[in-house]
Structure 1
């Protein structure tokens, strides 16, 4: 298949998806097989699956989506309760979201993939990989939370505020804030304690596939010590920093992030 050239912003098609009674959305671009088609399951390379964090949506991953879709099938997800998707009737655990992701991908005919999570999406990616270890070939953790320095709501909130104020672009702040409004405070506050209490290091230790931990060098939310430590939790861990970028590194430096991911994904299993 001839893949389209990488672009910063791409047009995405979408379809509603459901698993375990929860509803979300899957998105893809031209050149990537539509979910459910045989080509999705028969693609030569694993698909990239982009997973957003708390309160936001696929929109702040769109530039990275365009870069990765130029070389391999790429899908983004809008998870239940976020991005104006229907709100679940109860609080969802990180494991609930991981099961949702794995089941939706299986139902969509996507059987081999690389999970790429950002912020709380890192937690979702870990649980999806644990739920379907035979399907998740590799895992990318971008800006992982919650940093051991920010285990209180006050510290986490301050880190996010400083990152937005000092390190992010106007366009990334607009995407994040507008998505917060679409999500709404009720669901955000429902899931916030879930994010804060998730044992990232403990759960990551159960991953047996290659893991890349990636952060912007100016990220106020996911510090360098924390991120490097996570990369050492797993046997096949790697660590990359992208210069002059904050927490939403994939929006400000999409090409550099994609290049780092593609280079790492091309390494043989066991390389670090």
Structure 2
């Protein structure tokens, strides 16, 4: 990604990649320099690439990091199956190595499971958690129903650009690792694990998302001890790509960070 520092990272014998951006604008309050780092985590089969738009907007007002987890993007595939807890631990360990302090964890799709588990592992280091398009809907807990919802989303609610990024990453991931992680994703009980969170939780979805449905996301927001739901009109599952400005401003407002101004700029271009 342009304007980011890309580095290979390793922890516990697992390897990934980190993409880091420092907050760029001058003249911001001193409090911004002390604000937590925003950490973006991708979902199953994909990489930092479909988070790049959101990454760049958030980096206007906060230090921002995207991580390619082991086996995804250009990161080597592990020689063993990784659990959601394994991914959560990897996230913290590579952030520790990079000297990152408090961290706002933002995960999309299966990435929502990863950041939820990471927040449970280190509650003192995670002041806010954002679950974008979280999975797996309790009423759709079969692989067939997930695949049908994914197909519907791609055909009806995504753009050529978002589909190109997602499906090219699926090809790079390969069916073997994808299917192994799919089994892990389907067995993780997001609706139960979220009850243990102490940090405030933002559940964020595209209003047309057939994967993270409205009722499912309302269930999660209600079960979180301090949960809030935001829906972005006109967007499907990959809401951070197609509704970047609204997503960025929702995250900034939720975490008490300065508004990026992205939504206003989008309005002015129309």
TM over 0.5: yes
1:49 paired residue number: 39
1:22 paired residue number: 14
Matches within 5 A, 1:167-206: 167-206=157-196
Cα distance in structure 2, aligned partners of 1:131 and 1:15 = 25
- Residue 59 of structure 2 is aligned to residue 69 of structure 1: yes
Alignment length, in residue pairs? 250
1:6 paired residue number: none
Cα distance, 1:50 vs structure 2: 0.1
Matches within 5 A, 1:235-250: 235-250=225-240
Contact 1:10–1:62, Cα closer than 8 Å, also in 2: no
Q: 1:64-98: per-residue Cα shift (whole Å, max 9, x none)? A: 00111000000000000000211111110000000
Higher helix share: 2
2:121 paired residue number: 131
Give 2:93's match in structure 1, choosing from 99, 103, 118: 103
Q: 1:146-171: per-residue Cα shift (whole Å, max 9, x none)? A: 01121000000000000001000000
| TM-score, scaled relative to structure 2 | 0.90
Would you identify which runs of 4 or more consecutive aligned residues in structure 1 move more than 3 Å?
Answer: none
Contact 1:17–1:26, Cα closer than 8 Å, also in 2: yes
1:13 paired residue number: 5
Cα distance in structure 2, aligned partners of 1:189 and 1:163 = 20
- Residue 79 of structure 2 is aligned to residue 89 of structure 1: yes
Q: 1:82-140: per-residue Cα shift (whole Å, max 9, x none)? A: 00211111110000000100111111111101000000000000111111111111100
Cα distance in structure 2, aligned partners of 1:12 and 1:177 = 24
| TM-score, scaled relative to structure 1 | 0.89
1:265 paired residue number: 255
- Residue 205 of structure 2 is aligned to residue 215 of structure 1: yes
- Quote the RMSD (CA, aligned, Å): 1.4
Contact 1:219–1:245, Cα closer than 8 Å, also in 2: yes
- Residue 150 of structure 2 is aligned to residue 160 of structure 1: yes
Task: Provide structure 2 residue ranges, at least 5 long, that are not aligned to the other structure.
Answer: 25-31, 258-270
Cα distance in structure 2, aligned partners of 1:252 and 1:109 = 32
Task: Provide structure 1 residue ranges, at least 5 long, that are not aligned to the other structure.
Answer: 1-8, 33-41, 268-272
